[in-house]
Amino acid sequence: MKDVVALVTGASRGVGRGIALALLEEGAVVHVTGRTRFEAGSERIGSLQSLEAEAAELPGTLVIHQCDHRDDADTEAVAAAIRTGGQLDILVNNAWPGYERMEEDGAFTWPRPFWEQPVWRWEAMIGTALRAAFITSRALAPMMVAARSGLIVNISFWAAQTYEGNAIYGIAKAGADKMAADFAHDLRSSNVAAVSLYPGLVRTEAVMQNAQYFDLSNSESPAFIGHVIAALWRDPERMQKSGRVLIAADLARDYDIADIGGYRPVPLRLEDFTPKN
């Protein structure tokens, strides 16, 4: 993928970091955004600096953009820098501040009913994450349209289709799915694909910090979904998948991709999230 240019938003940690590293491993030029430039002083593991150090051994080229997607001007500045380069093949809309501050003043507020949810959580998941996906796509889709080639991936999850403990979370992920579907409609005549892609349980920094609360037996490395995205890009039939919700582990089976150590994650299904009577 040495001639492929990608942008992964929210790549200083978590799924976005894994996607960026996977694409770099495959030789792509990978632009990334993130708020945290240096890990020192940050409350969370992961930074653009540590990503840069990890990427140094990989064959691809990393281009870092410190960006706070709460500010449209920051997002537009990143898009302007990429337009200057004249090429963008893959856009991964991953930026997601929605898991921050699950506990406030000693109380775990995530599972509270919608009328008890803090308004900041709406702003994080929808005012920042969902809005950033739209603003970034809006700014960069014309490049893909002009090139008559491209792939937009919205990272989403099963909360779009079933209750996953938090109403705002479900609304945001349903929005990401609908956005991909409608983008696909508008882009189809330009040969640009747009999909919504669901990971499984990913061994992110936050998950591993709380590993005692998770069954990791069917989990995925953060890079797994990135290799799936690379294979989707190489798929000559990817336009047939445009507009759809796709499961990373399903695609991995289709493309014969294994995770670290040869493990092949079992795809999650809607019934896995449906309470059993």
Residue 169 designated active-site: yes
Longest alpha-carbon distance in the chain: 56
Buried b / exposed e along 31-46 (16+ C-beta atoms within 10 A): bbbbbbeebeeeebbb
Tell me the pairing of strands 192-198 and 150-155.
parallel
What 8-state DSSP symbol labels residue 164? Answer: -
Three-state DSSP state, 126: helix
Write down the catalytic residue from 99, 163, 169, 255: 169
Kindly report the backbone phi and psi dihedral angles of residue 154, in degrees, each rounded to the nearest multiple of 5, phi listed first: -95, 120
Per the DSSP assignment, residues forming a β-bridge with 108 are 103
- Catalytic amino acids? 169
